[in-house]
Chain A
Amino acid sequence: DSGVTQTPKHLITATGQRVTLRCSPRSGDLSVYWYQQSLDQGLQFLIQYYNGEERAKGNILERFSAQQFPDLHSELNLSSLELGDSALYFCASSLSGTGGSDTQYFGPGTRLTVL
């Protein structure tokens, strides 16, 4: 158990819909990262938040947005969903905002299926 929690575990929805994925980082961690993992694909970095502020942006679509709240939990909002958005979405957290040099602790992931 990494200490990072993600809800829901599974999500099934239809094209055109909007969903929100939630992540609670490990106690004490200030950074939250979101990744997308499609079938047989690697981890695509989407976005990083550090202490409530956006710190780094990766290959995140304009239909996707995220935020980190004062209690440090984060939400990833996916809208106008398409079939190709079906994937595992991982949240990770780390102690500081240095991104690359911190150890990242991954949550169990949310499996999104768009029908």
Chain B
Amino acid sequence: GQQVMQIPQYQHVQEGEDFTTYCNSSTTLSNIQWYKQRPGGHPVFLIQLVKSGEVKKQKRLTFQFGEAKKNSSLHITATQTTDVGTYFCAGRLSSGSARQLTFGSGTQLTVLP
């Protein structure tokens, strides 16, 4: 079945350092979404990428979708303590009948003040 792998599983950074999480799929994706889950909270939608090579920015967050639409990354510049949480990517197959999103295992980010 479709697998979406996400690395690293855990990341500790000092406040002000940059952070990147990577997402890789075994199959081509039609789109990829990113969610953030704060400790004790629920996943919250951040963004969706659809086009090959697409790059989107939200303030200090930069999201990329690979040219082959099999990988994606989320980069946070100059992390703040408010960035703490688990970041999930979620992709959907580009073909076949599967309509559901397949979530990666998430990257748990800790920001040390």
Interface residues of A (CB under 8 A from B): 2, 33, 35, 41-45, 48, 55-56, 58, 90, 92, 97-101, 103-109
Contact = CB atoms under 8 A, between A and B. Distances in A.
Interface string B10-45: 000000000000000000001101010000011111
A2 B30 contact: no
Given A42-B103, A92-B43, A100-B31, 15 more contacts: A42-B88, A48-B99, A55-B99, A56-B98, A58-B100, A97-B99, A99-B92, A99-B98, A99-B101, A100-B92, A101-B48, A101-B50, A103-B33, A105-B45, A107-B42
A108 B41 CA distance: 7
19 contacts: A2-B42, A41-B105, A42-B104, A42-B105, A43-B43, A45-B103, A55-B99, A99-B99, A99-B101, A100-B31, A100-B92, A100-B93, A100-B98, A100-B99, A100-B101, A101-B48, A104-B45, A104-B101, A106-B43
B26 to A, nearest CB: 16
Contact of A103 (B48, B50, B93, B98): B48
Given A101-B48, A101-B92, A103-B33, A90 B43 contact: yes
Contacts of B91: 100
A56 B33 CA distance: 18
A99 B42 contact: no
A101 B31 contact: yes
A2 B44 contact: yes
B102 interface: yes
Interface string B81-99: 0000000101111000011
B42 A42 contact: no
Contacts of B93: 100
A84 B29 CA distance: 31
B42 A56 contact: no
Nearest to A40: B108
Interface string B47-65: 0101000000000000000
